[in-house]
Amino acid sequence: MYDWLIVGAGFAGSVLAERIAAERDQSVLIIDRRPHIAGNAYDKYDDAGVLMHQYGPHIFHTNSDQIVDYLSKFTEWRKYEHRVLGMIDGKTVPIPINRTTINALYDLDLKTDEEAQAFLDSRAEPVETIKTSEDVVVSKIGRELYEKFFKGYTTKQWGLDPSELDKSVTSRVPTRTNTDDRYFTDTHQCMPKHGYTRMFERMLSHPNIKIMLNADYREIRDEIPHRRLIFTGPIDEFFDFRFGRLPYRSLKFKHVTLDQEKYQETGTVNYPMSEDYTRISEYKHLTGQEHHKTTITYEYPSATGDPYYPIPRDENQALYKKYQALAMQTENVHFVGRLATYRYYNMDQVVGQALAEFRRIQEQVPLWTGV
Ligand code: FAD
Ligand code: UDP
């Protein structure tokens, strides 16, 4: 009898496994249907010996000291500020759009924030109620820049026009009037020094934790006695799609190792206006690894395949709410993480959510003893 069965060895499951094992001194079996731990953050040395991310580039960034302090128990860090270029009208320009981007695209010499703001204001289109991913961009920077930077990328990435997506999606990418060309501005921006998988190994190395890989919850749920369950997979799957399928967007990754030291100028180059893929990322920028070869990944959005992204729009949220209501009535089961709570969360937000869930468990779930 395990005290806890945890489904999914990504951030949500692994943080809770560690907390429960270390703080409650209870037994945990953590399972994953994939052949490895670390969920979508899984990284590995490929056949050429280059450290790469199997599920696309993962850059850690957060404003929370508490989350960094927690993860720092399991890893040292390498400082890394991600930069992204976009291939726009045959030029490579910084993304998010900043003053340098505007000057390069329009052959201007705007020198101050005020000048850049005036340029954007002159193009912005008033939108009465800002609801969609189109509204939020067009109202700030106008239709032309929206079409160059956002429309094509978003349509590829989500299989939907930005007007059909919640404003929160494109709001993730700001527009700047200064010349800060970093993708993120969080106070902490770093990569686990020896990779994510190594960090997860250390997180899960507690003697109270057992790991079972290549194991789907459905296959083992009746075989493994447990008192409580933490589920971090897709919530609709847990309930056998009772109300219908929640849409998740997937990606196909094409990983290529090249016999050259460097492929591109920055960690990621986006292709908003052309190509079937959305972006190409080169890991050596992120990891700082020195190697005579380099590995890059192309991301091709796809309607089928592993669920990676919940799709933020009203009708999906309404369907999720039905599953959430069911989840709240389901005793002794906790739903945590990007797939189980249907939230477009970054890694740090999932860690924060898991730590908050642990605090609730401490308050509400009595410590039982004996089998
Ligand atoms: P996951 O990592 O998906 O883990 C869930 C695990 O549960 C999976 O391993 C799955 O196999 C397992 N599972 C599901 N169902 C079952 C079942 N029935 N039985 C057994 N196992 C099951 N975030 C950032 O902060 N920075 C980034 O740069 C960044 N880049 C990203 C790039 C891409 C391409 C993607 C897709 C995501 C990116 N993210 C990034 C988001 C990040 O991946 C997630 O926030 C994080 O991995 C979510 O952790 P999780 O534990 O909720 O889910
Ligand atoms: N986006 C865009 N053009 C870009 C970059 C992003 O239109 O060059 C939009 C797109 O809809 C994308 C969203 O902004 O899905 C969020 O971008 P982010 O880089 O945060 O995506 P993620 O890394 O989560 O895939």
The residue ranges of every structural domain in the chain are 2-37+204-245+311-364, 45-83+182-192+248-309, 98-170
For residue 99, give both structure tokens.
């003053």
The SS3 assignment for 192 reads: strand
The residue whose CA is least distant from atom 6 of ligand 1 is 8
**DSSP string covering 91-117, please?**
EEEEES--HHHHHHHHT----SHHHHH
Index of the ligand 2 atom closest to the CA of residue 279: 8
Site residues for ligand 1, CB cut-off 6 Å? 7-13, 31-34, 39-41, 55-59, 216-217, 232-233, 251, 308, 337-339, 345-348, 350
Q: pLDDT by residue for the chain (371 residues), tens digit each?
A: 999 999 999 999 999 999 999 999 999 999 999 999 999 999 999 999 999 999 999 999 999 999 999 999 999 999 999 999 999 999 999 999 999 999 999 999 999 999 999 999 999 999 999 999 999 999 999 999 999 999 999 999 999 999 999 999 999 999 999 999 999 999 999 999 999 999 999 999 999 999 999 999 999 999 999 999 999 999 999 999 999 999 999 999 999 999 999 999 999 999 999 999 999 999 999 999 999 999 999 999 999 999 999 999 999 999 999 999 999 999 999 999 999 999 999 999 999 999 999 999 999 998 876 54
Cα 85 to middle of ligand 2, angstroms: 13
**DSSP string covering 270-335, please?**
E-SSSSSSSEEEEHHHHH----SSEEEEEEEEESSSS--EE--SHHHHHHHHHHHHHHHHSTTEEE
Q: With residue 356 as reference, give the H or E element that holds it.
A: helix 347-364
Cα 336 to middle of ligand 2, angstroms: 24
| Pairing mode, strands 294-302 and 279-282 | antiparallel
Cα 371 to middle of ligand 1, angstroms: 33
**Is any atom of ligand 2 closer than 6 Å to the C-beta of 345?**
no
**Interface ipTM:** 0.99
The residue whose CA is least distant from atom 21 of ligand 2 is 172
Q: Which of 2, 8, 10 is nearest to 27 (CA)?
A: 2
Query: Going edge to edge, which strands form the sheet with 309-310?
Result: 91-95, 84-88, 268-270, 279-282, 294-302, 248-258, 309-310
The pLDDT score that the predictor gives to residue 369 is 60
Right CATH number for 2-37+204-245+311-364 from 3.40.50.720, 3.40.920.10, 3.40.50.10320, 3.40.50.1240? 3.40.50.720
What's the Cα-to-Cα distance from 296 to each of 129, 256, 261, 306, rounded to whole Å? 41, 5, 11, 20
Q: With residue 52 as reference, give the H or E element that holds it.
A: strand 51-53
What's the Cα-to-Cα distance from 62 to each of 53, 186, 259, rounded to whole Å? 20, 5, 34
For residue 41, give both structure tokens.
């953050």
**Is any atom of ligand 2 closer than 6 Å to the C-beta of 93?**
no
Task: Let me know: does 276 contact 153? Beta carbons within 8 Å.
Answer: no
Cα 158 to middle of ligand 2, angstroms: 10
Task: Let me know: does 281 contact 56? Beta carbons within 8 Å.
Answer: yes
Q: Put residue 288 in one of left, alpha, beta given phi > 0 → left and psi -120 to 50 → alpha.
A: left
| Pairing mode, strands 209-212 and 28-31 | parallel
Ligand 1 pocket test target in 18, 58, 240 with most atoms within 8 Å of CB = 58
Tokens 């939230």 appear where?
343
The residues near 331 (Cβ < 8 Å, ≥ 6 apart) are none
Ligand 2 pocket test target in 105, 150, 251 with most atoms within 8 Å of CB = 150
> Is the N-terminal amide bond of 307 cis, ω within 30° of 0?
no
For residue 222, give both structure tokens.
């009746």
Which residues are registered as beta bridge partners of 51?
Answer: 45
Which residues are registered as beta bridge partners of 79?
Answer: 190
Neighbours of 203 (CB within 10 A): 25
- Looking at residue 245, the DSSP 8-state letter turns out to be P
Side-chain-side CA neighbours of residue 141 (13 Å): 26
**Is any atom of ligand 2 closer than 6 Å to the C-beta of 172?**
yes
The pLDDT score that the predictor gives to residue 368 is 74
Q: Which of 39, 21, 46 is nearest to 284 (CA)?
A: 46
The residues near 97 (Cβ < 8 Å, ≥ 6 apart) are 141, 145, 149, 175, 176
Tokens 């930077």 appear where?
149
